[in-house]
Structures are given as structure tokens and as C-alpha cells.
Structure 1
Amino acid sequence: MLISNLEFMTGRKVTKHLGLVQGSSVRAKHAGRDIMSGIKNMFGGELTAYTELLQESREEATERMIEQARSVGANAVLNVRFSTSSITAGAAEIYVYGTAVILDESET
């Protein structure tokens, strides 16, 4: 499955638009990570526990979007975008979406 943030692929023709596909993941902070991050926050630096949490969430949301694209017969998802929102105190959603398409198989 080809995934791109571009609206088109150079040298490839979109033969069919299949519509919007999306995936999301909602994650809550882990108490242990929160305590350690709070301590690190006092001294500055990257909060690696949260960086890892968001990376895992992005990967999960992307996999869900890819599965939805496969289910409608797509071989690519174009114009992919990510969004993050706070759901409640201590929980955030990662949302990824794009346009499912069928690209021709030939490259020029």
C-alpha cells in the first residue's frame, strides 16, 4: 500500500477515487510515565515517554487507515494528514485520514 501526503503521484495515474479513509487511536497517559515526565519537566528536555506514546498511537491509527483502504480495494492513500486532539484530561486522540485511490500499475 502506497501512502503519501501528496495529492498525486508523479508518473502514476489515479484510475479510481474510492473516497475518504481514516483511522484513529485514543491513548491515555500511564501513571508511571506521568510521574517520570513530571520530574523531567522540572529539569527540561524531551519527554521520551510521551514521544513513544504518540509514535505508537500514530502507527496504530495509520494501520487502521490502511486496513480501511484495503477493504475498499485501494492500492494507495493520497493526501494523508494527521490531527491530534485532547479528548479529556490525560487522554488524546491521533486521527489520520486520506483519499483511497487505485493507481495504475505502470510507472513512467
Structure 2
Amino acid sequence: MIIVTTEQIPGKEIKEVVGVLSAGTVQSKNFGKDIGAGLKGLVGGEMKSYTAMMEEAREIALNRLIDKASKVGANAIVGMRFMTSSIIQGASEVIAYGTAVVVE
């Protein structure tokens, strides 16, 4: 599966636009990690547990998007983006979306 953030893939021709797809996940950290992150917020610095949580969420969302694209017969996704929103304190939704296409 070829995935790009651009509208075209250099050296490839889009033969068919399958459609816009999206896939997402909601991730949260446990209560203990939340307390640690809150304390880190008071003194400053990177909240590593949240950084790891967001990296994991992006990977899950992207893999789900790839699965959806494969199931509809696409071999590439163009214009891929991530969107993130806060659901509740300590939980974030990550959505991966893009246009599934068939390229040659």
C-alpha cells in the first residue's frame, strides 16, 4: 500500500478513485500515568506517556485505514491526514483519513 500526503504519486498514474476513507481510535492512559503527567505539567517538560499514547494511536488509526483501503480494492491512499481531538481529559481520538485509489 502506497500512502502519501500529496494528491499525486510521482511516477504513478491514478486509474480509479475508490473513495474517501477514514479510520480512528480513542486512546487513554491509566489513572497512575495521568497523575504523573499532571505533575509533569506543573514543572514543564515532555509528557512521555502521552507522547507514546499518541504515537500508538496514530499507528492504530493508520493500520485501520490501510485495512479499509485494501478491502475496497485500493492499492494506494493519497491526501492522507491525521486529525486529533480530545474526548475527555486524558483521552484522545485520532482519525486517519485520505482518498483510496488504484494506481499503476
The interval holding the TM-score normalised by the smaller chain is over 0.9
What are the superposed Cα offsets for residues 8-47 of structure 1, whole Å, 9 maximum, x if unpaired? Answer: 0111100110001111001123211111111222221100
* 3-state SS, counterpart of residue 46 of structure 1: coil
What are the superposed Cα offsets for residues 28-79 of structure 1, whole Å, 9 maximum, x if unpaired? Answer: 2321111111122222110000000000000000000000000001110000
For 1:50-65, list aligned pairs within 5 A: 50-65=50-65
Instruction: State the TM-score, normalized to the length of structure 2.
Output: 0.94
Structure-2 separation of matches of 1:29 and 1:86: 13
Equivalenced residue count is: 104
* 3-state SS, counterpart of residue 23 of structure 1: strand
Residue 103 (structure 2) aligns with: 103
* 3-state SS, counterpart of residue 94 of structure 2: strand
Q: Is the 8 A contact 2:25 2:60 kept in 1?
A: yes
Residue 3 (structure 2) aligns with: 3
Identical aligned residues as a percent: 41
Shift of 1:90: 3.1
Aligned-residue CA RMSD (Å): 1.0
Shift of 1:88: 2.8
Structure-1 separation of matches of 2:77 and 2:18: 10
In structure 1, the gaps of 5 or more residues are none
In structure 2, the gaps of 5 or more residues are none
Instruction: State the TM-score, normalized to the length of structure 1.
Output: 0.91
* 3-state SS, counterpart of residue 45 of structure 2: coil
